Amino acid sequence: MENLTDVKMRQQIRPAFRVPLLLYAMFLCASIVDPGGGFGLKYLASLLLSFYALVCIFTGKITFPLSFLVLEIPLFLLAPIFYLLLSVGIFLVPVGNAVSEITPFLTWVLYPVLLRINDKRKIVAIFRLVMFFGAVLITTIFFVILLAHFTGHDGLVGRINFLANRYRLGYLGRNPLGGRSVVFVPNVYFRWSLLLIPATLLMLQESTAKSLFMVFAALLTSSTAIIFFTFAGLGWVFVDSVFSKSKHSKTFRKRAALSVLLLFGIILALYMGGYQEILAFVLEKFSARSQSTVIKVGHIRSVLDVLSEDSFRLLFGMGVGSSFYSIGVGRFVSNIEVDHFNLIRQFGLMYATAFFLYVLFNLVALWKLGDETGKLIAMGLLLLFIAAGTNPLLISPIFFLQLILSRAYIALSNRERELLMAQDR
């Protein structure tokens, strides 16, 4: 039986507009196949999205919640402009460097388009669909590279790697073991791959086959962050479903448990097949003595040293796009993997605190909605927030995409509730 609330909402809310829905799907697809903009598809989709959003805003076709003027406008429009001017005018950061660090904020043009769609279920469904296509893309390329290697076509593997670097797709083709072993494992890590974390949790609502396929794609990336946070999320869903009275609780528990069985099955197959070095490579990342950990600790120490030298620098940062000397790598760098600290370094403690509180505000708001999808989005947002600080992707279209989706889901849920209250009167 269809939920009575859903029936009422279908009567009250107009069907999703085809144009914003199409533009949203195009933008997501472009982010998957052209994450670095090397093919121009991402820029074209962004341009069309921006044009439509501006037309709707100036013609009054979009109704923003009051909180938009209080939160999003200051945090994601006015503040970036201020810090851009501060960097160029006070800290003398080259304009190109400063602008490149601010451009991810343009992703927020997607927010009014999602509000125009006016259907929270549609925006989540489209996100799931496109992310599933992304998982298919990862899996396909993984086995193409594997087949090319074992049939003696290593030149094709090199060509794929060259094209991925040239068009800023990510890291494709190279052996993640770094040449330390004769074992060959394809490296298929797109710049958007961290989105597999929230997408896998949302896919639990679809089918067992699709959710397991998403988990399989996450494993194929060989990314410690993706694998760890994906299974941390599945574990969270499992525990929450034990105490939840949702009608899908048993289904979620089963699919989360099957995902863990899939993981152990792959681990056992690799171990029995003599591929222990792959397991050692992934587990090494968790070691406090690993090179990656040592570098990150060095970055953190350097950031703390730099910020402690000047109170103004602590509050307002060193300037977006600025560089500093890190003992982690022994040279000047502008971006570091510990992106939460890099956010504080570039923007200062004032903006970073506001940014972190905004994420927390959305997490609480999503959880308080009390619906199944809102909880899954909240889990995915928190896990991505932590994971994005290790890559770095915190101030990027990747994290902003999930943040915007979360914010739009909250706004549309509140709009639905207001309409229902008005109808009850």
Q: What is the pLDDT of residue 11?
A: 44
Contact 345, 315 (CB under 8 A): no
Over residues 216-238, mean pLDDT: 92
Q: What is the pLDDT of residues 132-168, one digit of tens each?
A: 999 999 999 999 999 998 898 888 988 999 999 999 9
Average pLDDT, rounded, for the chain = 88
Residues whose CB is less than 8 angstroms from the CB of residue 261 and which lie 6 or more positions away in sequence, other chains included? none
Cis, peptide link before residue 112, omega less than 30° from 0: no
Contact 271, 279 (CB under 8 A): yes
- Kindly state the percentage of the chain with pLDDT values over 90: 65
**Cα–Cα distance, 140 to 160 (Å, whole number):** 13
Residue in the block written with tokens 């044009």: 51
Strand (E) or helix (H) holding 202: helix 196-203
Find, among 363, 361, 401, the residue nearest to 379 by Cα. 363
Over residues 225-239, mean pLDDT: 93
Strand boundaries in 250-377, DSSP class E: 324-326, 331-333
Over residues 316-343, mean pLDDT: 92
Give me 325's structure tokens: 């000397």
Helical H segments across 151-177, by residue range: 154-166
Give me 272's structure tokens: 């029995």
**Cα–Cα distance, 269 to 261 (Å, whole number):** 12
Contact 4, 12 (CB under 8 A): no
Given a cut of 80, whether residue 20 has pLDDT beyond it is yes
User: Roughly how many angstroms between the first and final C-alpha of the chain, as a whole number?
Assistant: 25
Over residues 9-31, mean pLDDT: 76
Q: What is the pLDDT of residues 258-300, one digit of tens each?
A: 999 998 898 888 778 777 777 777 677 666 667 777 888 899 9
- The pTM for the full model equals 0.91
Residue in the block written with tokens 């083709």: 173
Contact 377, 81 (CB under 8 A): no
**Cα–Cα distance, 188 to 196 (Å, whole number):** 13
Q: What is the pLDDT of residue 180?
A: 54
Helix, strand, coil % (nearest 5) of the chain?
A: 75, 5, 25
Q: 321: alpha, beta or left, given left = phi > 0 and alpha = psi -120 to 50?
A: left
Helix axes 339-368, 79-89, angle to 10 degrees: 170
